[in-house]
Amino acid sequence: MTPLFELRDVCFDYEGIPALRGLSLQINRSERLALLGANGSGKSTLLRMLDGLCSPSQGSLHFEARQLTAELLQRDDFALPFRRRVALVFQNPDVQLFNPTVFDEVAFAPLQLGWSREQVLSRVEQTLEYMRLTGVRDRPPYRLSGGEKKRVALASVLVLDPEVLLLDEPTATLDPRSQSQIIDLIQEWKGSSKTVISATHQLEIVEDIADRVILLEEGKVAAMGAPAEILSNNELLLRANLVHAHRHSHNGVVHSHPHIHSHSKHEH
């Protein structure tokens, strides 16, 4: 079966600074994937590339066996279906919330893709209900809480019912309740035909949202495998700057070992 996405030796520079250095990867349909990496490892760049927002400076990117290039995306007959099927939720919701009200925001994508007025209105209502945003439908973005903004950002792409969801740090900076809401959503998609690729540096949620983990280090794939496998490899995680080791104490004992500060307990 052809992979949904395939990257071969992809390089990308952002204003002279290399973000991706020879990255090769295959992503299959209906996978739930987690891209793990510290800030600056290239996660966001990779997601944007998968959404066709930037092109490799070297190497090639293929979507359903077709090479994804800037020229291909200029063609409406390819671009319109692509934009509907592949959706990206940005790390900073303020970037994605550029319309006057929540309703306008959710309606933006279907409008740009040429849906009819009735389709737009009904689908937006459905999505607002699904994401429990009907109460704030007429609110401007600056009056939304962090969790609400993230939900609106999600709603603004879910309205299209995309097949591929690219999530850049879906739970970062959220309070616990909003975090769990997002995680619940992602878990709902398990077993569906949706492909979900989440980039995160929060190790504690990885097992909940992914079946396969790709570890990125300095713009390249450093490791790949099942969540349990990767998360138990402390050496790897330390090197990738995803965990730290410093002296700490509990149970009255002072010691040091790789760990992250989270809700999960660990044994000694």
Partner 1 sequence: MSRSFLESTTVGFGRAFTRAMLSETTAQQRGLLQSLDPRVRVVGLFALVLAVELSRKIAVVAALLVVAVVMAVASRVSIFTLAKRVWLIALGFTGVIALPAIFVTPGRPIAALGTVAITEQGLRTAALLVLRVETAVTFTTLLVLCTPWSHVLKALRALRLPKEAIVMLAMTYRYVFLLVETASQMFESRRSRTVGVLKPQGQRRMAARTAGVLLSKSFALSDNVYLAMQSRGFRGDVQVLSDWRLTMWDFIALFGFLLAGSFAVWMGR
Query: Which residues contact partner 1 (rule: CB under 8 A)?
Result: 48, 51, 53, 76, 79-80, 83-84, 87-88, 90, 92, 94-101, 104, 107-109, 111-114, 117, 120-121, 138, 140-142, 156-157, 160
How far apart are CB 171 and partner 1 at their closest, in Å? Answer: 19
Q: Rank residues 98 and 257 by Cβ distance to partner 1 and give the closer one.
A: 98
30 in Cβ contact with 195 (< 8 Å): yes
What's the rounded Cα separation, in Å, for the pair 27 and 17? 26
The CB-of-83 to partner 1 minimum distance in angstroms stands at: 4
Q: Give every CB contact of residue 57 below 8 A, 6+ residues apart in sequence.
A: 11, 12, 13
Which residues fall within 8 angstroms of residue 23, CB to CB, at 6 or more apart? 7, 9, 10, 11, 42, 46, 59, 216, 219, 220, 221
User: Looking at beta carbons only, is 11 or 121 nearer to partner 1?
Assistant: 121
CA distance 240 to 22: 17
Which is closer to partner 1, CB of 99 or CB of 241? 99
100-137 b/e with 16+ CB inside 10 Å = b? ebbbbbbbbbbeeeebeeeebeebbeebbeebebeebb
Q: Least distance (Å) from partner 1 to the CB of residue 97?
A: 8
- How buried is 56 (Cβ within 10 angstroms: 0-12 exposed, 13-18 middle, 19+ buried)? buried
Q: How far is the CB of 29 from partner 1 (least distance, A)?
A: 20
Q: How far is the CB of 203 from partner 1 (least distance, A)?
A: 26
Which residue number, 58 or 92, has a Cβ lying nearer to partner 1? 92
Instruction: Rank residues 113 and 260 by Cβ distance to partner 1 and give the closer one.
Output: 113
Cβ proximity to partner 1: between 99 and 233 the closer is 99
From 216, 223, 160, 211, select the one nearest 186 (Cα to Cα). 211
Q: What is the largest CA-CA distance in the chain?
A: 66
Q: How far is the CB of 164 from partner 1 (least distance, A)?
A: 12
